[in-house]
Structure 1
């Protein structure tokens, strides 16, 4: 035996001498030395053991011929190991299981892998392998499981792959394979799972030979560029449980032979061009739980026999189905999801729908349904989403829905509903979206709305609602949009409405609201749109409206406002501005004395300015000398005022300094790095002169320390006003949750692309965060201002890669992982060299460490234009939400455009880019300031941005993958952009795939 092992040892590089470790341990030591291990995952692999059986990832069995244990399994997922595939592992004679899932194994897969003769399970998914698949892989006689998902393999699938002897699982998802799906895969008679999804195959048909795989249980060919008809031969797959042919170019009818798949559990055919009717004989599919044939061109009635199956999820939306919904569908005992939107269905819904089934999601929007809403929809108390917009439903909202505590999303707009809304309906505690727009509903908003603690979007415009808006509206603290225009609301706005600190849109135009605007509207720090046009509001326009820094839509026209125009309005960046037809008077502020603003001020008889139509009596001024005298008085008064302000400032500064000295003991400093300054040096510099930014979470100050170093100080504000101590310069707003999240997150992480938190200073009522100072501010300010010309393409690409690496660190390297939840260009800061740092972790959340899936948030958090579709509609948040937001940032860098722009109409940046690409080509979306010599690289990054903003979360790559894709663009190693990420959970039958509804 020793004579046999000696030549093998001579072939290995020298290792540290050991007298105890056996031969298999020496092989694994060689494996360890051949790879980079930056996280020291293999530290437990040392020479102190006689065998490697206690090492991380190693499992042994007792050998049959000796007492010495032998290595059977090596399992090292997500260990961040890097380097070429270590062929030394094939010298382990009894190795049957090898998994290196989600590492950075690179280069090509060597043909010598075929020497692992006993290997049964090989998982190299989510790595960096490139080149062609080794034609020798089928020479592994015992191989049953082969998963190479998420690499960069290219070329065609080798002809030899038809020779596998025992292979049961073949997964080649999300690579760069070329050619077409080969027919010889039908020769692997032992296959139970075949998954080739998300590969850029050439257009080709589904090989009829796949019908020979009679043991097949899972067939996934999602987004494989398939064309032509579905072959009848697939009906021979009697053991098939999951058939997924979605997102292809399949045409023709659904073959009747699919009704012979008597074991099938789910069928997904969505997003093709299939035509005709659903095939007869589907009643034989007695195990079918999910059918998704949405987004095709299917027609005819929905077969009654389909409704007799044990369906849990039925998705037939965006087709041409017509006729009525079979009454028998209400008898399906397991049905929890029914989506039929965007068809031509008519008639009434079965009145006992939901009585016998645990309905959770019902979407019948954009059809021609009539009649009343079934009162039994929430009989089982599980209804979560009720979407019925754009139909002709009539009658009232059933009182039973007012008791449906499980509801989270309601859209009943654009129907003919009438009568008063049940009181309990207004106060449903879990609802975050309530849309009742364009009906004939009447009555008042009930005071029970105080119980709607999760409500974010209240859209009730174009109805006949009346009465006063109740004071209880101020208790709905998560409210982001209140649209109630074109109703009959009257009386004053409730004083409590200023408590809605999350409010982004307030639209109550064309009502009968009277009185003055409530005091304290400056608390609407996130308000983007204020439309109170065509009411009976009076009094002065509050000066505080000029402090709404993110407001870009202001319409107060058609009211009875009087007095002068607040001078602070000049500081705002308004896209829509209308104060016409009021009773305003006095001189126009200088910046508004321009022709483009003329229509904004018409109909105010007392308003004067150098514009046609304003202050027509101005010509009656009798004496220029009189005007000269007034100007002199004004100038003299101004000089006196300036002198007084300077004197007051000096006195106040001395007073403030003295006051700080008294209160120094009240401050507590918590540092996260070695500091060269004290909290008192910070406090002395919190003057308004040093303010460099103000947003929804607080003010930011630039502080120059005595050492010459510069830091940025954020003073948080939050839900209620509290006076800061220690001589602070203003009354701040304290947000405990944001502060705790920021400190907890930034205090424990270290990365070059995450903004550094030096320390935090706190008193009982005031909280300060001290960061490293970023000379070039935020990416959003830089990109969308006149400074945008400084950002050439190499700089923009560097920013994208830096930010991606920062987010990748949060998602993959933090334990537990962290979801930022507010990724946007304004939260990416730039240093003097335009290096990017991810900042603002006030709403960051730790990912569910139980692995049970996405977490549900209590309300929508994020910024308009950046919120992922599934987050906005389901409140389910995970890393994929951040990836969508980062994709929007990439599109900003490529296009130079804002994420939301009036030019886009109802679209956001993502939809605008997709539409423009289809209609006008890539040149129409690329920022014209970018040099044409970078066009190829810009297009590749654009593709990555579109990949990140895929509507389906499963199609978005991980942030680690995004970093790799960007690095490939930068080094030009892999010119082909990757397609989309595939499914990674083969036997997934418990829940239907959520393809979402944006109806």
Structure 2
């Protein structure tokens, strides 16, 4: 899979490759591994035109053969589907298997050819998922998403995936969020986004299948319930992974995507502490009209992370994600949750972002640092820069907030300066140790031996 990603790394695809090269220039250690390839709008028009001609020919041929063809399940490529509506979903480039049976499974699989689809249908059937999750047992429950519970599933071939099972409600909003998440996940592929594998619809069951990330959430690590305490350099790397993912969603997908629920419990960590952004149930496409400044929509998100301007105006922009990311930066530095009601009676004591930024303005940056992080002059200087970026991201007015691309550049600079300072400190420590070693091995002549030599010469 890694080899496949490397082979498919984008080169020569307009703005996307430009972004790639600029990232490499800003941060030589950064590796852009998304396999996304932007589609040409001109080509799309030609394709639609050719498809409409093929559709008319197919309809004419179908009218001649319809009465001779036996009924069967229909396999459609997503690029031939109609746009998303209440009954269907367009997912590119994913095959969708649909059947006329009322109890059938609707399954999609990334880049699945017709010959492969049947095997994936069998493996991703609702019955197989029940077996893989031990009938959605509490033992396999690993978390909660925006619209349901997440389970660990072990398939017949031994591979492990995560299954999001929608909560059964009487309303229709779950179905909307389910289809929204499918639509968003199917449009993206990036190293720092959870990989979409497919989905299952069976009677009143709705399942989303994604890659399993085995090291818990960022929030669990900050709480101390998962793994060892995170050092500052690890937290900085996690922040950079997250900014890569969000910058990709905002500017380098075919159509910009606003996540709308960036928070620590939606950041999954691998065993090597690489971050992956998850849970696209609240995600929205940015306006298609380039002159439009926002999307008007009902407010969704998590308390403490929601952009206050979005909260008051219902106007969603990519800067709403920037605000949430700023709150997340403060969370990474302090280790605290955005709202901690037990911290005190005063408002600024309970609201972590407000409290931490006030302390930084007063020059008490060390006070806001998670006590489990080791401190050094280089780390404190880096923390000051990260907190200054967090202050920009959480500006009350969206116009004052930086783009995610700018956030990435700042964090790369912070990491580079930190690494250089740590290397200088290590070199200085090694030099001092070498001098101490030389001093300890030097033995001056003793007073007794000097006297003996002096008086021996008088004999």
TM range (shorter): 0.5 to 0.7
Among 300, 304, 308, the residue aligned to 1:869: 308
1:678 lines up with 2:118 in the alignment? no
Query: Cα distance, 1:854 vs. partner?
Result: 3.3
1:941 lines up with 2:391 in the alignment? no
Query: Cα distance, 1:973 vs. partner?
Result: 8.9
**Does the 8 Å contact 1:801/1:963 carry over to 2?**
yes
Using the size of structure 1 for normalisation, the TM-score is 0.30
> What does 1:180-329 align with in structure 2 at a 5 Å threshold?
none
CA distance in structure 1 between the aligned counterparts of 2:159 and 2:334, rounded to whole angstroms: 36
Among 811, 818, 821, the residue aligned to 2:260: 821
Among 166, 171, 183, the residue aligned to 1:716: 166
Correspondence for 2:374: 931
Query: Cα distance, 1:734 vs. partner?
Result: 7.1
Query: Cα distance, 1:699 vs. partner?
Result: 0.9
CA distance in structure 1 between the aligned counterparts of 2:13 and 2:226, rounded to whole angstroms: 45
SS of aligned partner of 1:720 = coil
SS of aligned partner of 1:849 = coil
Q: 1:953 to 1:691 in 2, by over 3 A?
A: same
SS of aligned partner of 1:681 = helix
Query: Cα distance, 1:909 vs. partner?
Result: 2.1
Query: Cα distance, 1:104 vs. partner?
Result: 6.7
Q: 1:777 to 1:974 in 2, by over 3 A?
A: closer
**Does the 8 Å contact 1:698/1:716 carry over to 2?**
yes
CA distance in structure 1 between the aligned counterparts of 2:229 and 2:10, rounded to whole angstroms: 36
Correspondence for 1:687: 137
CA distance in structure 2 between the aligned counterparts of 1:788 and 1:951, rounded to whole angstroms: 35
CA distance in structure 1 between the aligned counterparts of 2:299 and 2:137, rounded to whole angstroms: 34
CA distance in structure 2 between the aligned counterparts of 1:911 and 1:768, rounded to whole angstroms: 39
Correspondence for 1:958: 403
CA distance in structure 1 between the aligned counterparts of 2:253 and 2:319, rounded to whole angstroms: 16
Query: Cα distance, 1:772 vs. partner?
Result: 0.8
CA distance in structure 2 between the aligned counterparts of 1:791 and 1:762, rounded to whole angstroms: 40
* Structure whose residues are more often strand by fraction: 1
CA distance in structure 2 between the aligned counterparts of 1:817 and 1:748, rounded to whole angstroms: 10
Per-residue deviation, residues 891-931 of structure 1 (Å, max 9, x unmatched): 10001110001116423222111222234611111111111
Query: Cα distance, 1:719 vs. partner?
Result: 4.7
CA distance in structure 1 between the aligned counterparts of 2:412 and 2:366, rounded to whole angstroms: 24
> What does 1:845-884 align with in structure 2 at a 5 Å threshold?
845-884=284-323
Correspondence for 1:787: 226
Query: Cα distance, 1:872 vs. partner?
Result: 1.1
* Structure whose residues are more often helix by fraction: 2
Correspondence for 1:390: none
1:916 lines up with 2:336 in the alignment? no
**TM superposition outliers: structure 1 runs of 4+ over 6 Å:** 103-107
Unaligned runs of 5+ in 1: 1-36, 43-76, 84-102, 108-662, 722-732, 976-999
Correspondence for 1:812: 251
Q: 1:829 to 1:81 in 2, by over 3 A?
A: closer
SS of aligned partner of 2:325 = helix
CA distance in structure 2 between the aligned counterparts of 1:892 and 1:920, rounded to whole angstroms: 19
Larger radius of gyration: 1
SS of aligned partner of 1:884 = helix
Query: Cα distance, 1:712 vs. partner?
Result: 0.9
**Does the 8 Å contact 2:106/2:201 carry over to 1?**
yes
Query: Cα distance, 1:790 vs. partner?
Result: 3.0
CA distance in structure 2 between the aligned counterparts of 1:854 and 1:889, rounded to whole angstroms: 25
Query: Cα distance, 1:970 vs. partner?
Result: 1.5
CA distance in structure 2 between the aligned counterparts of 1:81 and 1:828, rounded to whole angstroms: 24
CA distance in structure 2 between the aligned counterparts of 1:812 and 1:943, rounded to whole angstroms: 24
CA distance in structure 2 between the aligned counterparts of 1:878 and 1:39, rounded to whole angstroms: 29
> What does 1:135-534 align with in structure 2 at a 5 Å threshold?
none
Correspondence for 2:187: 748
Among 89, 106, 131, the residue aligned to 1:668: 106
Per-residue deviation, residues 293-316 of structure 1 (Å, max 9, x unmatched): xxxxxxxxxxxxxxxxxxxxxxxx
SS of aligned partner of 1:735 = helix
1:770 lines up with 2:209 in the alignment? yes
**Does the 8 Å contact 1:778/1:829 carry over to 2?**
yes
Query: Cα distance, 1:949 vs. partner?
Result: 1.2
Q: 1:783 to 1:664 in 2, by over 3 A?
A: farther
SS of aligned partner of 2:18 = coil
Correspondence for 2:149: 699
Correspondence for 2:18: 80
Q: 1:79 to 1:863 in 2, by over 3 A?
A: same
Per-residue deviation, residues 337-388 of structure 1 (Å, max 9, x unmatched): xxxxxxxxxxxxxxxxxxxxxxxxxxxxxxxxxxxxxxxxxxxxxxxxxxxx
Among 339, 347, 353, the residue aligned to 1:906: 347
Among 417, 436, 443, the residue aligned to 1:972: 417
Unaligned runs of 5+ in 2: 1-8, 27-100, 113-118, 421-459
Q: Which has the bigger relative contact order, CA under 8 A and spacing at least 6?
A: 2
